[in-house]
Each structure stands twice: as structure tokens, then as C-alpha cells.
Amino acid sequence: MDLESLVGLAQQNGASDLHLEAGLPAAVRVRGTLRTSGEPLPAKVLLEMAHRVIGEEQWPRFLEQRSLDLSRTIHGVRCRINILQTSRGVGFAVRLLSSFQATVEKLNLHPDLKKLINHANGLILVSGPTGSGKSSTLAALIQEINLAETRHIVTIESPIEYVFRPRRAYIRQREVGRDTPNFEQALLDALREDPDVLMVGEMREPETMRLTLNASETGHLVLATVHSSTCAEALQRVVSAFPSEIQSSVAAQLADCLVAVISQRLRFRPELNIRVPECEILMPSHAIKGFIRNRDFFKIISSLETGAEHGMWTFQRYRNWLDRRTSWHIPGQNPEPPDSETPESSQPAPVLPAFASGTKPAIPPPEPPASHSATHLRRPPGRIEIEPTEGEFGKILKRPGE
């Protein structure tokens, strides 16, 4: 059994995740619950499977780090894959992404979220625990901009999960480790690339947070994710990531640039047989900005309760709105082709050498495209179509060495 058939089996069962571990049967997560099926998987089979997915070029990096993040289209499904070394051998954690292009309507989110993208600058934070749909919500907001406005969008992700086909917007997607050595360098580069909108796939390090805040203050609309369970906790997490002596200035900066905080979690609705995001939405009223500047994050909860007139939503109020909702989007009910570049329509992209650790990348002189051969181990290069004209852009294929 290969990875394609396992992903196909997970898709048939409506799974959001697939887990493979040597000596254990395959496990799928369906509506938040893990289920195992089949016989235990041999360690040798998983090792060979990992080698095929990673490829010869990145295999030494995996051996050095003992883990690797990547994304692939497998069995027609876009997947985010983490391959890791465990005590039993090589394991896989595969996230099956939506087969449709995410929008606010298709994710069954509140239509008021569309108003957030009307801002020309500022910071939109999307928070929630792992597996709560943060990346899908970010993709939905980016797609709403893409369908409505002519803006230059730069995304920085690790790895790229949703591949966008530019409609009205001009979209560049950069993958950390392949197109740029890290989030920090990508953010520094982005400020020189004339973006209107920046999407930061993940804020974990203080330096990434600092550069994200700076970008949101310099005339860019920035969308980013952070791991937390509530809006107040998301703001506190950002501020507390910095040294105590500068937390006051960071809190003031955050209060000035904040557009909204969306905290979400997925809840299964048995009548629809799907999981739907439940959100807590915080808007920066004068009172909220004061609490952030003074780092009184515990006071934000009471303002959320009474902030409906400012467009705020508590989890309970949002759940009541969901209970009254009558129109739903059910994935798979009306099949549609994915609105993204497909590997079948892609052409080979030029290959640049991996970044050497601590040095700048050496860029070779350009060669004719015919000199490059395509193999099934390389990531499919992107073919970007912008209506009414189209053009082809190469993508850098190799990840940097650590």
C-alpha cells in the first residue's frame, strides 16, 4: 500500500488527518475522532515511502533534522505533510486540505469577516488551537481580496497549503525553506517588494512577530496566525513573547495597528454531518486599545460581552447565530474544479542551489529552460494565470540546508 492509496482511503472516509507509524495500523481523524484501520505498517515500507515523497535532493536534510514539512497534491487532494523520525522508525502526519478554493461562504463563516479586508493597513490575527482551521480562514480572506480587489499579495508559508490562482489580485507565494531561508528574511524582503497585503502563515519567534508588527504599521494589511484559544490570549501571547523591558512599547504598537482578532474552533454539527468554525471576534474599540496598551488583557473578556455594537462576537453569541442559520455550504454537495494551479498543467521550473548555512545563496547564470529535466520527486512548478492574459513564472525548488 502506497501513500496515494492511503490518502484516497482517508478522503473517502471524510478524514481531516492521516497518521502513519511503523508497527501500527493507519489512523485517520474523522470529525475530531481518531480511528485505526488495516494491518500494522512495516517500518521498511514507510521508510521507502518517505524517501519517494521527500526525494533525493531533500533526503540529506531530512536525515540531518529528523523531520521535514512539505506539501503535495496526492490523489487529487492538497496535503500538508510532516515526516518525522520516531522510536519505531519513520512516521507521517498528513493534513488533508479542502478540495475547493476557500471563501467566507464556503467555510460557513460570518459574512461580517469580509469587512476586515477593506482596511488598507493593519494587523488581522487568526488564532486557535492546532487543527482549528486557521489556515483555511486565512486562505478564505486572501481569496476574498483576490476576487474583489486589484492588490499585490505576498504570502509567506511553511509549507504552502492553499495554492491561489490570481484573479483580480497579483499573488506571490513563498515557501519557507524552499523560496526563502526563514520567515524573518522573507518579511524583510517583502517590505521591498511593494506589497499591499502580506500573509504570514505562522508567528512563533519574537523576531517574526516584531517584523510582522512593523509591516502592519508601514502601510500594509497583514494577516497572520498565532496559537491560542481566545482573542485575549492571542494578544497576550504576542506581547509576552518579547523581553519584559520592551513589552510596553510592543503593546502600544499592537494596539495602534490592530484591525481584528479572530479566535476559532471547529464544532461538529450532526444535522449537517460537517464541522463548522465557531468564532470569537475582537474589534479594537477605544476601550480594547486601552486594555492592550496597559496590558490588562483580563479586562478584554468583559468588553467582548458588551461589544456587539462594535462588531464583536463571543463564542456563545456566535453559536446562537449558527443555530439560527438556515443556508449552509456542504463540501462535496456541488462538485467544482479547484481554483488553483494543478500539477498536470504545470511546466518544469528552473532549479537554484540550496542556501548554504550562514552564507548567501550563489545564483548561477541563467540557462535555457530545455536544459532542465522534470522528475516526479520535484514540487510541481506554478503556472500563474492572470485574467485576461497569462504568464508562467518559475519557482525555486530546493530547500535551504540548515
What is the model's pLDDT at position 115? 94
Is 219 part of a structural domain of the chain?
yes
Residues 121 and 90 in one domain: no
Residues 13 and 118 in one domain: no
Residues 135 and 251 in one domain: yes
Give the domain CATH number at 84: 3.30.450.90
Residues 187 and 287 in one domain: yes
Residues 278 and 165 in one domain: yes
Give the structural domain span for 20.
3-96
Residues 176 and 257 in one domain: yes
Cell numbers standing for residue 373: 529535466
What is the model's pLDDT at position 187? 95
Residues 139 and 281 in one domain: yes
Q: What does each C-alpha distance from 208 to 31, 67, 138, 202, 256 come to in angstroms? A: 33, 22, 18, 9, 18
CB atoms within 10 A of CB 375: 9
Residue numbers in the chain where pLDDT is lower than 50? 342-348, 356-402
What is the model's pLDDT at position 353? 59
What is the model's pLDDT at position 357? 43
Among 294, 301, 210, smallest CA distance to 261 is for 301
Residues 139 and 279 in one domain: yes
CB atoms within 10 A of CB 30: 15
Query: Between β-strands 170-175 and 152-157, what pairing exists: parallel, antiparallel or unpaired?
Result: parallel
The contacts of residue 215 (CB under 8 Å, 6+ apart) are 187, 190, 191, 198, 222
pLDDT tens profile 147-162: 999 999 999 998 888 8
Residues 205 and 143 in one domain: yes
Is 9 part of a structural domain of the chain?
yes
How many domains does the chain fold into?
Answer: 2
* Domain stop point among 45, 65, 96: 96
Residues 186 and 304 in one domain: yes
What is the model's pLDDT at position 339? 55
What is the model's pLDDT at position 57? 87
- Label residue 310 exposed, middle or buried (CB < 10 Å: 0-12, 13-18, 19+): middle
Query: Between β-strands 33-37 and 274-282, what pairing exists: parallel, antiparallel or unpaired?
Result: unpaired
Query: Could you give the CA distance from residue 256 to residue 107 in angstroms, rounded to a whole number?
Result: 30
pLDDT tens profile 319-372: 999 999 999 988 766 655 555 554 433 344 555 555 544 444 444 444 444 444
* Domain stop point among 324, 347, 372: 324
* Domain stop point among 61, 96, 131: 96
Query: Could you give the CA distance from residue 133 to residue 127 in angstroms, rounded to a whole number?
Result: 9
**Entry pTM:** 0.77
Residues 150 and 78 in one domain: no
Residues 130 and 230 in one domain: yes
Contact 117, 136 (CB under 8 A): no
What is the model's pLDDT at position 344? 37
Give the domain CATH number at 160: 3.40.50.300
What is the model's pLDDT at position 77? 85
